[in-house]
């Protein structure tokens, strides 16, 4: 009798489950994937529609449709779909600035028994031909260029390097190119001096590290005069990181060289009120056997002032390097760096860091 009761209970539970399942909606798609094939970027947004049928016995509701990428935009049937009726998920792909193959997914959530469904779109975007403005995005007065900055990267103090920059005249008139101001250690010429309408020219820049007479990162500007104009915006940045050349030193010279050693490499001022100034002193010692010369000191921000007590430190001596941080106009967490360049051949560049939290 007890076994018979259990059997009846099991049959009843199974029947209830089947009834509940039978009373749920069921979403069935004609297809779960669409391949757009190959198309041009200039063809614009591509759209496809995934149709589905509610094969359940109660209305189907699409709760949410989410795409794996912002380039994919879905739309869907918002009203409940009765049993046996159809609905759709419309999916669009924007190929703008996205050349190459793509494989994106769209997740569909509903009240169906199979509540989550993943749809997928694929394809290949052929890159469109770029406009002249895209190929040469930097505007230098009436001219265009791929960049308005020439970097000579790392240079030894004796080196002289040259680089070229292509200039494009995208106007209907010729443009005569001259120079208003050039740094003394930089030479620049333009060929041809008059760039024809819709034509090209070349700016050749030669940088002399020895004539720059500095160490570390150096940044300057070349100011052009286009058709006699004095527009300051017609300029090109020039930079280099100039390093002392220790490659010719003998083992004996290296053994008798200066050696820079800081007492610490970082300092945290803690909390500061906006507008408050704080100072900290880093001690620089010469652990070597020759005079340590501070070649250059540069801070990452104008809010940080650096004042070494002297430029030449004898062997065995130390000198304070005072750093002052001005929190005026700052807020929140701050982190600044100070670069100290010396004639220590093993460690010519030392970076100190200061930090604080500016309270408003």
Q: Which residue has the tokens 């995934």?
A: 50
Q: Which residue has the tokens 């069935």?
A: 28
Question: Do 137 and 189 share a domain, yes or no?
Answer: yes
pTM of the model: 0.67
Any domain includes 15: no
SS3 175: strand
Question: What are φ and ψ of residue 163, in 5° steps?
Answer: -145, 150
Any domain includes 17: no
CA pair distance 43, 95, nearest whole angstrom: 8
Question: Do 165 and 225 share a domain, yes or no?
Answer: yes
Four-CA torsion 62, 63, 68, 69, nearest 10 degrees: 90
Instruction: Please tell me the predicted confidence (pLDDT) of residue 63.
Output: 94
Instruction: Please tell me the predicted confidence (pLDDT) of residue 3.
Output: 53
Instruction: Please tell me the predicted confidence (pLDDT) of residue 210.
Output: 94
Question: Do 68 and 171 share a domain, yes or no?
Answer: no
Any domain includes 152: yes
CA pair distance 54, 112, nearest whole angstrom: 9
Percentage of the chain exceeding pLDDT 90: 84
Angle at 192 between CA 189 and CA 198, to 5 degrees: 125
Would you say residue 128 has pLDDT above 90?
Answer: no
Instruction: Give how far the C-alpha of residue 348 lies from the chain's centroid of Cα atoms, to the nearest Å.
Output: 29
243, 264, 281: which is the final residue of a domain? 243
Question: Do 259 and 239 share a domain, yes or no?
Answer: no
Instruction: Please tell me the predicted confidence (pLDDT) of residue 62.
Output: 95
190, 224, 243: which is the final residue of a domain? 243
Q: How many CB atoms lie within 10 A of CB 206?
A: 14
Instruction: Please tell me the predicted confidence (pLDDT) of residue 19.
Output: 42
CA pair distance 41, 59, nearest whole angstrom: 40
Question: Do 267 and 346 share a domain, yes or no?
Answer: yes
Domain coverage including residue 260: 251-359
Question: Do 114 and 163 share a domain, yes or no?
Answer: no
Would you say residue 354 has pLDDT above 90?
Answer: yes
Question: Do 90 and 173 share a domain, yes or no?
Answer: no
Any domain includes 4: no
Structure confidence by residue, pLDDT tens digits, 74-92: 999 999 999 999 999 999 9
Structure confidence by residue, pLDDT tens digits, 210-237: 999 999 999 999 999 999 998 888 999 9
Q: Which two tokens stand for residue 147?
A: 């960049």
Question: Do 257 and 333 share a domain, yes or no?
Answer: yes
Instruction: Please tell me the predicted confidence (pLDDT) of residue 130.
Output: 83
Any domain includes 1: no
Q: Exposure of 301 by Cβ count < 10 A (0-12 exposed, 13-18 middle, 19+ buried)?
A: middle
Any domain includes 8: no
Instruction: Please tell me the predicted confidence (pLDDT) of residue 276.
Output: 94
Any domain includes 19: no
Instruction: Please tell me the predicted confidence (pLDDT) of residue 16.
Output: 41
Would you say residue 263 has pLDDT above 80?
Answer: yes
User: Residues 227, 232, 236, 241: is their CA dihedral positive or negative?
Assistant: positive
In Å, how far are 99, 245, 256, 257, 308 from 346, measured between CA atoms?
47, 11, 12, 9, 21
Would you say residue 15 has pLDDT above 90?
Answer: no
- Residue 133: CA atoms inside 13 Å, Cβ hemisphere, count? 2
Instruction: Please tell me the predicted confidence (pLDDT) of residue 279.
Output: 95
CA pair distance 348, 340, nearest whole angstrom: 8
Would you say residue 357 has pLDDT above 60?
Answer: yes
Structure confidence by residue, pLDDT tens digits, 21-31: 458 999 999 99
Q: 1-5, 93-97, 193-197: which has the minimum mean pLDDT? A: 1-5
Structure confidence by residue, pLDDT tens digits, 335-353: 999 999 999 999 999 999 9
In the DSSP assignment, the letter for residue 43 is G
Count of structural domains, the chain:
3
Do the beta carbons of residue 73 and residue 104 sit within 8 Å? no
Q: Which two tokens stand for residue 245?
A: 């050349």
Long-range residue pairs from 132-137, CB within 8 A, at least 24 positions apart, any chain: 132/168, 132/170, 133/170, 136/166, 136/168, 136/170
Of residues 345, 344, 246, the one with CA closest to residue 286: 344
Would you say residue 18 has pLDDT above 50?
Answer: no
Mean pLDDT of 295-304: 92
In the sheet that 86-93 helps form, which strands lie side by side, from edge to edge? Answer: 27-29, 46-54, 86-93, 72-76
Structure confidence by residue, pLDDT tens digits, 301-331: 998 999 999 999 999 999 999 999 999 999 9
Question: Do 159 and 260 share a domain, yes or no?
Answer: no
Any domain includes 120: yes
110, 126, 142: which is the final residue of a domain? 126
Where residue 301 sits, what CATH number does that domain have?
A: 2.60.40.10
Do the beta carbons of residue 167 and residue 150 sit within 8 Å? no
Strand 72-76 versus strand 86-93 pairing type: antiparallel
Burial 94-124 (b: 16+ CB within 10 A, else e): bbeeeeeebebebebebbbeeeebebbbebe
**Mean of the per-residue pLDDT values of the chain:** 91
């Amino acid at each position: 009798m007890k076994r018979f009761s259990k059997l009846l209970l099991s049959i009843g539970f199974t029947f209830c489950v089947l009834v509940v399942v039978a009373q749920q909606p069921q979403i069935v798609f004609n297809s779960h994937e669409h391949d757009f094939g190959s198309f041009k970027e200039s063809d614009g947004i591509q759209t496809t529609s995934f149709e589905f049928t509610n094969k359940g016995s109660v209305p189907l509701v699409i709760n949410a449709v989410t795409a794996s990428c912002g380039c994919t935009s879905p739309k869907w049937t918002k009203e409940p779909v009765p049993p046996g009726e159809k609905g759709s998920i419309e999916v669009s792909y924007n190929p703008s600035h996205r050349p190459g193959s793509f494989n994106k997914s769209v997740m569909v959530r509903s009240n169906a028994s199979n509540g989550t469904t993943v749809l997928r779109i694929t394809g290949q975007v052929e890159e469109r031909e770029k406009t002249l403005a895209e190929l040469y995005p930097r505007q230098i007065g009436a001219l265009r260029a791929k960049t308005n900055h020439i970097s000579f990267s790392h240079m030894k103090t004796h080196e002289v390097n040259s680089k070229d920059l292509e200039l494009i005249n995208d106007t209907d008139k010729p443009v005569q190119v001259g120079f208003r101001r050039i740094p003394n250690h930089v030479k620049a010429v333009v060929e041809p001096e008059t760039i024809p309408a819709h034509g090209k020219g070349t700016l050749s820049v030669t940088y002399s590290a020895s004539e720059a007479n500095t160490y570390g990162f150096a940044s300057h500007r070349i100011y052009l005069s286009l058709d006699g104009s004095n527009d300051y915006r017609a300029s090109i940045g020039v930079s280099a990181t100039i390093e002392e050349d220790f490659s010719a030193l003998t083992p004996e010279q290296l053994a008798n060289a200066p050696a820079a050693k800081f007492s610490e490499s970082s300092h945290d001022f803690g909390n500061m009120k906006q507008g408050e100034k704080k100072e900290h002193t880093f001690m620089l010692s010469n652990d070597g056997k020759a005079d340590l010369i501070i070649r250059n000191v540069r801070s990452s921000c104008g809010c940080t002032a650096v004042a070494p007590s002297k430029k030449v430190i004898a062997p065995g001596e130390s000198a304070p390097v005072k750093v002052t941080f001005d929190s005026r106009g700052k807020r929140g967490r701050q982190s600044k760096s100070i670069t100290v360049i010396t004639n220590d051949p093993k460690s010519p560049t030392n970076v100190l860091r200061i930090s604080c939290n500016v309270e408003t």
